[in-house]
Amino acid sequence: MLVTGQASTEGTASGKVILFGEHAVVYGSPAIAAGLDRGARAVVTRQPSGPSTLRLGDGTVVADASSASDLGRAFSALLEVAPAIPPVHVEARCDLPPGGGLGSSAALAVSIARAAEALARSGEIRPEEGAAIEARVLARAAAWERIFHGNPSGIDATAAAQGGIFRFTRAEGARPITPRHDLVLCVGSTGHPSSTRTTVELIASQHAKDPVLVKRSIDAITSIVGNAVLAIEAGDMRALGDLMNMNQLVLSGLFVSTSELEELCALARSAGALGAKLTGGGGGGCVLALVPPSFRSDGTRDEAREAESAARILDAWRGAEGHYEGF
């Protein structure tokens, strides 16, 4: 059925950081992710005739939904909306570095799928339809992610769709975590994009050769994640920082860290971070550093002191040789 009405609709979605458990989550273990304020925005506009077209970012990446390229197929998967929509032009932008491990690909997919759903309903989504539509948005974002990432666990698309901080498994999906205290994190980028597909395949080939060895690392990450949930709920930031460092060690043992990621982690720790680790697929991309919390004598948070602590970490990254930047 063709729905006439609103000519242009918008969808948004968040980027994400993986706090704990990347890669192990692909094998069914739990992981912890948090949505970022930054993310993606897509505007879908009806066209008089086909094919549907997509322009990403500054316009250098353009696709059409009838093309057999990876981007063309992935885009077409996002437009499989019921009721069907007419040919559209999509403009989508993401204010996250591509290949930074911050979920830019999933955020773009979710924002486009949401805008397409809204167009199919003339911009009006009734509250009782909300959950079913979000489930379809996630399913189509998963189809997009499978084309680019091979074997996605679904954590990136879930974070893009719902934000917040949550524990995730492939079998159970997301369960929100209530932190006792807000977490203040700095994100540092190596400036080198990473390919999640490449690092997921690297671990898959290690797993094929020596499943027992890889399972040991996955089991170690599983127990780190379990303890991290408890530390977040208890507000034990020191324990949380130690657990980040341990998670980083296990990821290095799986060969998904790089000397640049290790250097960013070391710089953050010497600048006062309670812990630091890569986030996302690794092999490039970004690290996370946990800023120590500061409390006034009456127990309230001293945000100004925390901002100074964060600034020390960001300065340490900026002062290093390489392509580092942070936020």
The reply to whether 200 sits near ligand MEV by the rule CB under 6 A is: yes
Position 153 contacts ligand MEV (CB under 6 A): yes
Would you say 128 or 172 has its CB closer to ligand MEV? 172
* CB contact at 8 A, 149 and 200: yes
252: closest CA among 216, 277, 287? 277
Task: Name the residue nearer to ligand MEV (CB basis): 9 or 196.
Answer: 196
**Does the footprint of ligand MEV cover residue 281 (CB under 6 A)?**
yes
Binding-site size for ligand MEV (CB under 6 A) equals 15
Q: Is 267 in the site for ligand MEV (CB under 6 A)?
A: no
Site for ligand MEV, residues 83 to 102, rule: CB under 6 A:
101
From candidates 13, 19, 25, 218, binder to ligand MEV by CB under 6 A = 25
* Of residues 39 and 293, the one with the C-beta less far from ligand MEV: 39
At its nearest, how many Å lie between ligand MEV and the CB of residue 21?
8
Q: Among 81, 155, 186, 240, indicate the residue that binds ligand MEV (CB under 6 A).
A: 155
Residues 6+ apart with CB under 8 A from 166: 32, 33, 34, 158, 159, 174, 175, 176, 177
Q: Which stretch binds ligand MEV (CB under 6 A): 63-71, 116-124, 147-155, 226-234?
A: 147-155
Catalytic residue among 64, 156, 219, 302: 156
Distances (CA, A) of 212 to 25, 218, 251, 254, 256: 17, 10, 16, 13, 18
Complex with ligand MEV: residue 33 or 44, whichever CB lies closer:
33
Task: Look at the block and give the residue holding tokens 């994640």.
Answer: 225
Closest residue to ligand MEV, judged by C-beta, is 153
Cβ distance to ligand MEV smaller for residue 148 or 302: 148
161 binds ligand MEV (CB under 6 A): no
Q: Is 182 a catalytic residue?
A: no
Do residues 322 and 192 make contact, with C-beta atoms less than 8 angstroms apart?
no
Stretch in the footprint of ligand MEV (CB under 6 A) among 5-13, 17-25, 234-242, 317-325: 17-25
Minimum gap (Å) between residue 183 Cβ and ligand MEV: 18
- 196 forms part of the interface with ligand MEV (CB under 6 A): yes
Per CB under 6 A, which region of 20-28, 46-54, 113-121, 239-247 contacts ligand MEV? 20-28
| Closest to ligand MEV by CB, 116 or 254 | 254
The distance of closest approach from Cβ of residue 279 to ligand MEV in the complex, given in angstroms and rounded to an integer, is 8
Please choose, out of 21-29, 266-274, 301-309, 317-325, the segment that lies near ligand MEV by the rule CB under 6 A: 21-29
Residues forming the site for ligand MEV (CB under 6 A) = 18, 22-23, 25-26, 101, 149, 152-153, 155-156, 196, 200, 280-281
Q: Which residues are designated catalytic? A: 156
